[in-house]
Structures are given as C-alpha cells and as structure tokens.
Amino acid sequence: MHKKLTAALLLGTALMLPLDAAAQRATKKNAEAFIAKVEEEKKAMDEEGARIAWARATNITYDTSWLEAKASARSTEKAVEWANEAKRYDRLDLSPELRRKLDILKQSITLPAPSADGAASELAEITTRLGNTYSTGTIEFEGETVPQNRTETLMRELRDPAKLEEVWTKWREQSKPMKEDYVRMVEIANEGAKELGYDDLGQMWRSNYDMDPDEFAAEVDRLWDQVKPLYENVHCAVKYELNEEYGDEVVPLDQPIRADLLGNMWAQSWGSIYDLVKPEGLEAEGVDIGALLEAQDYTPLKIAETAEGFFTSLGFDDLPETFWERSQITKPADREVVCHASAWNLDSEEDIRIKMCTEVNADDFQTMHHELGHNIYQRAYAGQDYLFRNDPNDGFHEAIGDMVALSITPAYLQQVGLLDELPSEDADLPILMQKALDGAAFLPFGLLVDKWRWQVFSGELQPDQWNEGWWALREEYQGIRPPNDRPADAFDPGSKYHIPGNTPYMRYFLARILQFQFYKAACDQAGWEGPLHRCSFYGNGEVGAKFNAMLEKGNSQPWQDSLEEFTGTREMDASAMVEYFRPLMDYLGEQNEDRSCGW
Ligand code: X8Z
Ligand code: ZN
C-alpha cells in the first residue's frame, strides 16, 4: 500500500516537472541503483555468453555458431542500452568509483551496434561468420589439406622461398571473401559508435586509456620512437643474414624484406629463423628451447604444468582442478575449433581455462606462459566489484605472462631441469638476439594493425584502398613487402586472426613495452644488480606478493595509479626494454655501421 502510494506520488511529481525532468531524476541514488542492477544482470548474462562462446570455439558447428550469434546480439543490445543509460548521469558529482563504473559502461564495447531494429543481430551474424571463415580455413599444399594452425607451422619450418611464397599466398586466398562482410561490419559498428557520441569506432577504442583519445595516439607514437633504433638495427642485421642465405635476387639489400621469409605467417615475430639469421660474428650458441623440450619428451600438458610452476613459485595458488578438466590444451582430432590461443574465465570467479592447440616448440612454450598470465590475472581480480573485474588498460592483461616469461633465463631453465649446464657469458648476445627476434621484431607490427583499423574506421582509407593502405603501413613501419603483387580483390589484413576476430591490437604493442617495465620493477624489488637480461625472479615470493597486489586491483583505478604502485612511475616508458637489449644494440650498431640499413 505504502509502496503504491509512493509510486503514484512520484509519477505525479514527474508530470509536473519541467522538460528536463529526466536529468533531474538522474540522482546519485538512482545512479547507484542502476550500477547495482547492471552488475548483477551483466554478470549472469556474461557467464551465459561465455559458456556459449566456449562451446562454439571448441566445437564449431552450424548450431554452436547460431547460438553464439544470438547470444552476442543480445549482449550487444544490452551493452548499448546500458551505455546510453549511463550517459544520463554524466553531469552528476559522484564518487570516483561510481563515475569509473559509468565510464566503463560507456566506453568498453568493442563493437557497438546502433539501436535500430535488427542491427545487433546483423552485426553478430557477420562477426561469427568472419571468425568461422578464419578458423576453419584450409589450404592445399603438396597434395594435402592443411588446417589453419598447421599453416603457421609450415611458415615456421619451411626454408624454400618458393614454398614459403606458396603457403603465404594461399593462406591469403582464404581472407578474400571476408571483405564484403568486413565492409558492412565497419558501417554498422561505426554507426553504433556515433550513436554513443564518438566520431567513429577508432576514437571509441582510443578512449579507453584514462586519457584523451588524441593524446593516446600521440603516446603510442612516442613509445615507438623510443624503440625504433632497436628495431632498425635488428631489421638491418636480419636483412643482411637473409641476403647471405638467399642471395640478392630474393633479398635485395636496397628493399624491404620479403614478408614470407621471416618464419611467421605475418612476419610479426622472427624467433623461428634464428638459425638463419644469427649474426655471423657470434660464435657461442644460444639456447634452443624447442630442442630442449623435445630432448626431454615434453608434452603439451607438461608445458602447461611447467608454466603453472612459475606462477606457483611466486606464491600464486595452484590452478584449480577444473582448469585441467575443462581446458582445451591440444587440438581435438574430430572437430573444428578456434586454434588461436586464448584464456577464459567463464563465471568470472574460479572457472578459468585456456584454449590452445599446443605443439611442443619454443613459440608455444612462450604462449603457454602468456595464456596462464591471463588466467592468473583473472583470478586475482575476481574479488573486485563486477565492473572492475578487468585490467585498467588492455596492455596490462597481455603483459603479465610475457613479463614472467622474461625470467626464462638459462639459470631458470637449469633450475627446472631443462638445461644441464649454464652457458658462458658469451652466450648472452646470441640469447638476446633470440629474444629480440620475437620481442623487438614484434613492435612495429603491434603498432600498425590498429593504425590500419583506425584509418579504416575513420574513413581515411576507403574499402578500395584497404589492402594498399595495409601494405603501406607494413612497409613504413616494418620494412617488409609482399612476395608478389597483391591482387585487386585481396583482403590481406583478414589473414590475421584479430581482424576477423575483432580483437583490438594496440594492447599487444603496449604489452611489449609494459612487460619490460614490470620485469625491471620486479628485478629491482628482488635486489638484482647484474645486467637486466640475466635477472630471473623465479621463486621470489616477495615479488609475487607485490605483483599480486597490483593484479588484485583490476580495473578499480586508473592504470597510471596501478603502474605507479608497482613500478614507481605513472608513464608507460620503453627505457627498460632499451636497457634490456642494450648489449645487443651496441653489438649490432657496430655490425651495421657500414651497411645500407633502412628500406
Ligand atoms: O593473440 C595473442 C595471444 C592471445 S591474447 C596468443 N597474441 C598476439 C598474436 O598472436 O598476434 C600474443 C602475442 C601477440
Ligand atoms: Zn593474450
């Protein structure tokens, strides 16, 4: 009775209010109630969505895809509704926590749909289809049908330029049909971003960094400038070694490097061609992790257990039993799956898992640490309010496992029984070169994927210029070129998982910088005084506790605060990375002195 009366009174009052009544009803109390409701509903909705997405990613069928598209449309519609509702409280003076939660609701939709009927469904159908085209793609090579993940292995292992070109080119035939869907997807998601008040989707993505979106764009350029000399030196040394190997015809010294010769489908990390490009003057051997794993009969499961062991040595709890029961660690033989590695927390509490098609090699050893880093982070912030169960800047999530993997030094490999004898100090440069081929070579790729998407979303690149624009960036930043003229209907960006998968990519560039910042801070905390690249904080519980304190904060505060608490600085800064590679930089600088570097 009393309740009804209140409702009637409220209604009466509302009717008598001036036109901006809605704004007046935007009270602090209503904002609190709104957030409480969203946190409860979103948690349940996300869990259902994640279980459906898991079912599809580990078993791609007509029905699981259908279910995923439906669930994805529903959650986009809800997310857009909540983002719009959050705007109602824009002008209120609220606590920083409440304001942050409202901002999170407004900013963190990767692909928004406009509110028009059917838009969210069309968008979801397109994105599910794009993802399936990528993950179920195959090529015909030497009389066999090769699935997506094995095309990556071929690019890693083949050494014949003609065969490399064949695999490289055939994989890019797969992405041609994605273009039409991608055109429509960009239209819809841009409309969605505009409805939420952004110029375009790129600006919306750049708005998620606790700073002005234009400032963020300038920030990544600043970081790139810090590491560019390192990249240029590695690029030059690799170009000369490849020229030795393949000759002037295949690797002319006055041109960008052919993209299919770098041991990776996208020329994004080059560690697998270390045997070809080890600088001539370096006598000592590096450490061939792939060979060590094979020699000791490591299995994918053993790789996972070893990576878990690193985290537990820092004081983190064992992974739960359900991790081992429910993860997909190797590729199932009897069905289509998404092989690209990922880490999940299905209930945002304890149900953490990975999904990989692990093979026993150095790349997957690294990726396993990367993925478990995600899981450890997810579990660490599970105590936060629901909207804060995330990282404060998406580079953080990607940096955790990689920061830990920097501690995979020869001393560590010996501690876990993978290496018998420690190599002499002469091995430092070869080891640094191995790490630079992955870590430093990745930087311009990490930067340009979203530079391309930003240009696509803003309309600076029109669909008929997309492929050219992609190669212009590949040449400008990476100094690489395609092995053949690209056909007019090519959609080469679609050959990379994160484009059809719609995963923003700048996070990996940031992570590459942050991982060294975190690592250096951890080494300082451990009291390490030697050269940075020899530090391993394996087994250091004190470092683990401090690290955990940062992870536990999740997204409850600006990333600058979290970074400062762990490292003492509020800025992303590549100087730790430069310090780490300094001995190699000095060496390569001398080697390259009279060479024609650049492209
Ligand atoms: O996509 C990934 C992870 C999953 S978050 C395997 N990475 C990027 C890539 O593969 O392109 C890790 C390094 C960069
Ligand atoms: Zn990741």
Q: H/E/C letters for each residue in 255-280?
A: CCEEHHHCCCCCCCCCHHHHHHHCCC
CA distance 318 to 352: 12
pLDDT score, position 12: 40
Domain boundaries, the chain: 289-411+506-580
Give the mutation target among 272, 367, 369 for probing the ligand 1 site: most ligand atoms within 8 A of CB: 367
Cβ distance 382 to 348 under 8 Å?
Answer: yes
Residues 6 or more apart whose CB falls under 8 angstroms from that of 281 comprise 591
pLDDT score, position 108: 87
Cα 267 to averaged position of ligand 1 atoms, centre (Å): 13
Ligand number nearest CA of 356 is: 1
* Ligand 1: residue whose CA is nearest its atom 3: 341
pLDDT score, position 495: 98
Cα 378 to averaged position of ligand 2 atoms, centre (Å): 12
Cα 395 to averaged position of ligand 2 atoms, centre (Å): 9
Q: Give, for all 599 residues of the chain, the pLDDT tens digit.
A: 344 434 444 444 444 444 444 544 899 999 999 999 999 999 999 999 999 999 999 999 999 999 999 999 999 999 999 999 999 999 999 999 999 999 999 998 999 999 999 999 999 999 999 999 999 999 999 999 999 999 999 999 999 999 999 999 999 999 999 999 999 999 999 999 999 999 999 999 999 999 999 999 999 999 999 999 999 999 999 999 999 999 999 999 999 999 999 999 999 999 999 999 998 888 888 999 999 999 999 999 999 999 999 999 999 999 999 999 999 999 999 999 999 999 999 999 999 999 999 999 999 999 999 999 999 999 999 999 999 999 999 999 999 999 999 999 999 999 999 999 999 989 999 999 999 999 999 999 999 999 999 999 999 999 999 999 999 999 999 999 999 999 999 999 999 999 999 999 999 999 999 999 999 999 999 999 999 999 999 999 999 999 999 999 999 999 999 999 999 999 999 999 999 999 999 999 999 999 999 99
Cβ distance 364 to 391 under 8 Å?
Answer: no
- Burial call 230-263: b when 16+ CB within 10 Å, e when fewer: bbbbbbbbbbbbbbebbeeebbeeeebbbbbbbb
Q: What are phi and psi of 443, to 5 degrees?
A: -50, -55
> Which has the closest alpha carbon to 227: 594, 593, 579, 599?
579
> 320: which DSSP letter?
P
Cα 354 to averaged position of ligand 1 atoms, centre (Å): 13
Q: What are phi and psi of 78, to 5 degrees?
A: -65, -45
User: Known binder of ligand: residue 564?
Assistant: no
CA distance 500 to 265: 16
- For residue 251, the SS3 value is coil
* Ligand 1: residue whose CA is nearest its atom 7: 508
CA distance 21 to 284: 76
Cα 29 to averaged position of ligand 1 atoms, centre (Å): 42
* Ligand 1: residue whose CA is nearest its atom 5: 342
Give the mutation target among 345, 370, 502, 514 for probing the ligand 1 site: most ligand atoms within 8 A of CB: 370
CA distance 350 to 28: 33
User: Known binder of ligand: residue 507?
Assistant: yes
- For residue 391, the SS3 value is coil
Cα 266 to averaged position of ligand 1 atoms, centre (Å): 12
| Joined tokens for residue 246 | 């393949």
Cα 371 to averaged position of ligand 1 atoms, centre (Å): 9
Give the mutation target among 438, 508, 510 for probing the ligand 1 site: most ligand atoms within 8 A of CB: 508
- Would strands 138-141 and 144-147 be described as parallel, antiparallel, or unpaired? antiparallel
Indicate the residue type of 574. A
pLDDT score, position 185: 98
Catalytic residue annotation: 371, 498
Residues 6 or more apart whose CB falls under 8 angstroms from that of 503 comprise 110, 497
Of all atoms in ligand 1, which is nearest to the CA of residue 266?
11
Q: Is 496 in the pocket of ligand 1 (CB under 6 A)?
A: no
| Joined tokens for residue 579 | 């310090």
Of all atoms in ligand 1, which is nearest to the CA of residue 342?
4
- Which residue in this structure is represented by tokens 């790789």? 303
Of all atoms in ligand 1, which is nearest to the CA of residue 446?
14
| Joined tokens for residue 159 | 């050494």
Q: Is 342 in the pocket of ligand 1 (CB under 6 A)?
A: yes
Q: Is 319 in the pocket of ligand 1 (CB under 6 A)?
A: no
- Would strands 144-147 and 352-355 be described as parallel, antiparallel, or unpaired? unpaired
Count CA within 13 A, CB hemisphere, residue 455.
Answer: 19
> 480: which DSSP letter?
E
User: Known binder of ligand: residue 377?
Assistant: no
Q: Is 341 in the pocket of ligand 1 (CB under 6 A)?
A: yes
pLDDT score, position 280: 83
* Ligand 1: residue whose CA is nearest its atom 13: 508
Q: How many CB atoms lie within 10 A of CB 338?
A: 24
Residues 6 or more apart whose CB falls under 8 angstroms from that of 229 comprise 585
Burial classification of residue 560, based on how many CB atoms lie within 10 Å of its CB (0-12 exposed, 13-18 middle, 19 or more buried):
middle
Q: Is 367 in the pocket of ligand 1 (CB under 6 A)?
A: yes
Indicate the residue type of 172. R
| Joined tokens for residue 288 | 């061939």
pLDDT score, position 7: 40
Q: Is 508 in the pocket of ligand 1 (CB under 6 A)?
A: yes
Ligand number nearest CA of 449 is: 1
User: Known binder of ligand: residue 184?
Assistant: no
User: Known binder of ligand: residue 508?
Assistant: no
Crossing angle of helices 213-250/506-525, nearest 10°?
100
- For residue 92, the SS3 value is coil
Residues bordering ligand 2, an ion, CB closer than 5 Å? 398
